Amino acid sequence: MIPTDRWSCWLAGLALALSATAATAAKTDVVVLKNGDRITGEVKGLDRGRLKYSTDSMGTVYIEWDDIDTLASKEFHRVRDTGGRLYFGTLSATGGADTLTVEGARGTSALPLADFVRITPVEDSWKERIDLTVGAGFSYAKGSDVTTATAYADYAYTAETHIIAGTFRSDTTDDGDDTSTRNLLTGQYQHLREHQRYRFLLGQAEQNNELDVDLRVLAGAGLGKYFVQNNRRTWLMAGGLGVAHEESSDGTADTDLEGIFQTRYDAFLYDTPKLDLTANLYLFPSITETGRIRSNYDITLSKEFIEDLSLDLTFAGSYDSRPASDNADEADYSITTGLSYEF
């Protein structure tokens, strides 16, 4: 009989060996760059023109998709091309340079690397699929004694057939006499379909002193489509119906049926310098109150100057053709600079 302490040592050694083997086996993907460099690691995903790649010696690195000559992985992936088509399978370089071959149960498909816009490991951890960016800004003008503080956050969770994303933005302005605030929280669920189409559910909560809105809550649904989706830019449009309930500072409340229209454009430049331009617009034409239209919009130019740390310039605002009270403004906007960090 083997003593208990020897059993413990043997089991511990076996567990350590298995762990080491698993860790080594996990990083068997191969990327060959156009300069000839060969990197062994693990594909974590492709998005916005960059391949997220985990290595033993360098940690997690981001490789520009244009710099890749071939890619091979024995793990199972979900792949989307510029036409919105989906492929499921392993990845190989059997098609040669500048070509990616997806081998799955539906057959083998070989396409130019430039045609692929997103790669997602199907069995990847849910934590690896979350992108989170947080930022803040502050400004002070001595001549007018005006201070402005801004906080914002963006998050996105990407899975095989759906995307859950949202934004939060808070602006506070103090001129010494009055303080105005604007808070906007938006969340959206997208169920992805073929040909770059999707169904969506939308939720919004808003507060705005300038527009005399103590609270506005909206819930809606509709259909959308990605008209452009490649490694340099994306452009989508969506439309649907929603119900909005709002309360003003004088205690009045109203509930309306509204149309929903969204368009969003993203352009990314990952050569030096790394720039990201995002423009997002929501329009809400009222159906129960003819002639009224609301909107929320923001345009952000972001430049990364340290890894994952960026300087942002944002123009954001709201508009209501028929605000809650006669004393309220129809439009409210802000221009801010801030620092953001991507987790």
Candidate ranges 138-142, 194-198, 221-225; pick with highest mean pLDDT: 221-225
pLDDT in tens, 147-206: 888 999 999 887 767 889 999 999 888 877 778 889 999 999 999 888 889 999 999 999
- Identity at 7, one-letter amino acid code: W
Judged against a pLDDT cut of 60, whether residue 98 lies above it is answered with yes
pLDDT of residue 123: 60
pLDDT bucket at 7, cuts 50 / 70 / 90: very low
Judged against a pLDDT cut of 80, whether residue 215 lies above it is answered with yes
List the one residue out of 131, 139, 147 whose CA is nearest residue 338.
139
- Residues 33, 39 contacting (CB under 8 angstroms): yes
To the question of pTM greater than 0.85 for the whole model, the response is no
Judged against a pLDDT cut of 50, whether residue 19 lies above it is answered with no
Judged against a pLDDT cut of 80, whether residue 114 lies above it is answered with yes
* Dist. CA 266–CA 235, nearest whole Å: 6
Six-digit token string for 289 = 């109150």
Residue 17, H or E segment: helix 4-26
Q: What is the mean pLDDT of residues 63-85?
A: 86
pLDDT in tens, 251-260: 788 899 999 9
Judged against a pLDDT cut of 80, whether residue 101 lies above it is answered with yes
CATH classification code of 129-342:
2.40.160.40
List the one residue out of 189, 153, 155 whose CA is nearest residue 168.
153
Average pLDDT, the chain: 83
Six-digit token string for 103 = 């081998």
Beta bridge partners of 224: 198, 238
Six-digit token string for 255 = 């509930």
pLDDT of residue 5: 52
pLDDT bucket at 44, cuts 50 / 70 / 90: confident
List the one residue out of 90, 32, 28, 79 whose CA is nearest residue 54.
28
DSSP 343: -
pLDDT bucket at 20, cuts 50 / 70 / 90: very low
Name the residue with higher pLDDT: 126 or 186: 186
pLDDT of residue 23: 42
Q: What is the mean pLDDT of residues 20-28?
A: 53
Judged against a pLDDT cut of 80, whether residue 209 lies above it is answered with yes
- Identity at 163, one-letter amino acid code: I
Q: What residues does each domain of the chain span? A: 27-124, 129-342
Judged against a pLDDT cut of 80, whether residue 220 lies above it is answered with yes
pLDDT of residue 200: 97
3-state secondary structure of 252: coil
3-state secondary structure of 65: helix
